[in-house]
Structure 1
Amino acid sequence: MSSLCRLVQRGLLSVRPSCRLFPGQLDVFRAALTVRTASSPSSVNLMYDVFDGKGESTPLVFLHGLFGSKSNFHSIAKSLVQRTGRKVLTVDARNHGNSPHTPELTYEAMASDLKHLLGQLHIDKCVLIGHSMGGKTAMTIALTQPSLVERLVVVDISPAQSTTRTNFRYYIQAMQEMKISSDIPRSTARRMAEDQLRARVKEHSVRQFLLTNLVEQNGHYTWRVNLEAIAAHLEEIMSFPSFNTVYNGPTLFLGGASSAYISSDDYPEIQRLFPSADIQYIPDASHWIHADKPLDFISSIISFLQS
């Protein structure tokens, strides 16, 4: 089989049955093909939901955290559309939700995915709001593509190493070890899954969060997140790329007062990379601020947009 046929089979190339290439056109075709195949692995087509506002202001784009999905911000998005009139997008990262699975899971790759999506949607500038892993993706975009970001909100994460503060390795192991019978009701499958997670995942709220990823496929229950890719890249996800650039746009770091993810030790690095950053905390909120204190979270976002 020729290399061109293989590319057609893999969906990297589409051809019309009536299309013919003459010798003089073949070199141009091969050059275009080289560009296409070289760029294909760098970004994936992300799944997203749009909540359309009537206003003309810059749209808000929400990026979820590790093991999350675009649905995490649906109620927040609806409220913000009503209160600000802005269009709001919630996006599934690669290897999460309904977005494609890929072996690579780095902040550079996830930033490339979002840049690709914004280009597809003809969004020249947005307000980026990212939680945890999504916050690090948002910071990466702001530091590498500042013209795309009108304002930046980083939710309960900082541009610092966070490996020592998490139990994600245990969560992954528990999810990988899970075994559930086929062809049983979803409610029964969910109970079985929670029982098996309980040994390694002590917090009820975290178990419920992880269980949002339990899906049924052809009678079998599985996880919709790509556990292999997450496990392979966990150290990179907990870390943050090294940057010598800065983002000078308006920036809000919004932490949970009961969370340790944004500490005073992180302030110098935050100020170095984001000179215009304001750091605020929401009382009695954990790492999942938007779930713990949705009204306070929404109010903080609106105040920041109006500042």
Structure 2
Amino acid sequence: MLRALGFPRCPLRMLRVPNRSVADGQAATPVPVSYCVFDGASARPPLVLLHGLFGNKGNFASLAKAIVRRSGRKVLTVDARNHGDSPHHPLMTYEAMSDDVRLLLRQLRLDRCVLVGHSMGGRTAMAVALRWPELVERLLCVDISPSGTSAVSSLGRLVEALKAVELPEGVPLSTARRLVQEQLRKDIQDLSVLRFLLTNLVSAEGRVVWRVNLDAVSRHLDGLTRLPSFEAPYSGPVLFLGGAKSPYISSEDFPEIERLFPEAEIEYVPDAGHWVHADQPQHFVDAVCRFLEQPPS
């Protein structure tokens, strides 16, 4: 039964968009994604942490260590395709990214796991649970719902602003980031968002480049703002952990959450925006560890 704790102050108007599955007629070939392992002594299923759009596996590194200390479970942090150290691929859909997670579990010979995903990673985790429920012991989605949102236009402007940047040449990475920040300030006023995006600037073969595949993100952005259509629900334990200052999980999402995840609970973290784990890391770790100890329904 759906139960919501600490309802947020910022409702979100939702945009329903018809689902398209594999985009552009391309085959959904799984790619071997990059990951880090934080070992724990417990034999219980490990946690697999999936980051959001423009993020990377490093976003969860300190939190993974804290979860290992508290729970004893092994934790994996994973780079999505077209992000971090994972391969670039022209196809970027939730079907494709959930295929990548399934491939990783097979490669590591993991029969079951706990999936924890923020934003885009949360929807990827949902897709894995809905497609292969036998692989997922329980599911935690951070500040994202299965419903489509109206954020596609603002995200599109952000991607185009990044693509329009003139990347400096012949300067250290720190200098390049400062120069790119100056270029982007007119389009991105939120300094915390801007600094987060600049973590995607890296040095490669003597050049400064974006490590996120902006072309693939831009091409598939519309599909990334919603979960594909599913009929059969996932009946395992689920927690939707939202930021009380964020609009990404609203009461309008509750019917679709309950339809797809009938055992879901919703909890809102006080004084947290969209990046719940960065705004309130201790509360995030506490919520994850409490959820791990809850008995199956």
TM-score (norm 1): 0.86
How much does 1:56 deviate?
1.1
Answer whether contact 1:49 1:91 (CA < 8 A) is retained.
yes
Deviation per residue, 1:132-172 (Å, 9 max, x gap): 00000000010010000000000000001113376211221
Partner SS state of residue 151, structure 2: helix
What corresponds to 1:116 in structure 2? 103
Partner SS state of residue 201, structure 1: coil
What corresponds to 1:178 in structure 2? 165
How much does 1:253 deviate?
0.3
Provide the C-alpha distance between the structure 2 equivalents of 1:40 and 1:163, rounded to a whole number of angstroms: 28
How much does 1:109 deviate?
0.4
Answer whether contact 1:170 1:201 (CA < 8 A) is retained.
no
Deviation per residue, 1:17-50 (Å, 9 max, x gap): xxxxxxxxxxxxxxxxxxxxxx996100000000
Give 2:100's aligned amino acid: D
Q: 2:256 aligns with which of 269, 284, 292?
A: 269
Q: 1:65 aligns with which of 16, 35, 52?
A: 52
Q: 1:82 aligns with which of 69, 72, 84?
A: 69
Answer whether contact 1:60 1:126 (CA < 8 A) is retained.
yes
What corresponds to 1:192 in structure 2? 179
Answer whether contact 2:152 2:221 (CA < 8 A) is retained.
no
Give identity over the alignment, percent. 54
Provide the C-alpha distance between the structure 1 equivalents of 2:214 and 2:167, rounded to a whole number of angstroms: 17
What corresponds to 2:265 in structure 1? 278
Provide the C-alpha distance between the structure 2 equivalents of 1:101 and 1:155, rounded to a whole number of angstroms: 25
Provide the C-alpha distance between the structure 1 equivalents of 2:152 and 2:262, rounded to a whole number of angstroms: 26
Provide the C-alpha distance between the structure 1 equivalents of 2:254 and 2:58, rounded to a whole number of angstroms: 31
Q: 2:114 aligns with which of 127, 149, 154?
A: 127
Larger mean CA deviation between 42-51 and 160-169 belongs to 160-169
Structure 2 residue 201 is matched with structure 1 residue 217: no
What corresponds to 1:288 in structure 2? 275
- 4+ runs deviating over 4 angstroms: none
Answer whether contact 2:152 2:225 (CA < 8 A) is retained.
no
Larger mean CA deviation between 273-282 and 54-63 belongs to 54-63
What corresponds to 1:151 in structure 2? 138
Q: Where does structure 1 lack aligned partners over 5 or more consecutive residues?
A: 1-38
Answer whether contact 1:163 1:235 (CA < 8 A) is retained.
no
Provide the C-alpha distance between the structure 2 equivalents of 1:40 and 1:173, rounded to a whole number of angstroms: 26
Q: 1:163 aligns with which of 128, 150, 155?
A: 150
How much does 1:180 deviate?
2.8
Provide the C-alpha distance between the structure 1 equivalents of 2:230 and 2:167, rounded to a whole number of angstroms: 44
Deviation per residue, 1:64-91 (Å, 9 max, x gap): 0000000000000010111111100000
Larger radius of gyration: 1
What corresponds to 2:237 in structure 1? 250
Answer whether contact 1:69 1:97 (CA < 8 A) is retained.
yes
Give 2:144's aligned amino acid: I
What corresponds to 1:206 in structure 2? 193
Larger mean CA deviation between 42-51 and 155-164 belongs to 155-164
Provide the C-alpha distance between the structure 1 equivalents of 2:208 and 2:114, rounded to a whole number of angstroms: 36
What corresponds to 2:6 in structure 1? none
Partner SS state of residue 137, structure 2: strand
* CA separation of 1:40 and 1:259: change in aligned 2, threshold 3 A: closer
Provide the C-alpha distance between the structure 1 equivalents of 2:27 and 2:73, rounded to a whole number of angstroms: 32
Answer whether contact 1:174 1:196 (CA < 8 A) is retained.
no
Give 1:127's aligned amino acid: V
Provide the C-alpha distance between the structure 2 equivalents of 1:257 and 1:94, rounded to a whole number of angstroms: 30
Provide the C-alpha distance between the structure 2 equivalents of 1:164 and 1:82, rounded to a whole number of angstroms: 36
Structure 2 residue 34 is matched with structure 1 residue 47: yes
Aligned residues: 269
Structure with the higher helix share, 1 or 2: 1
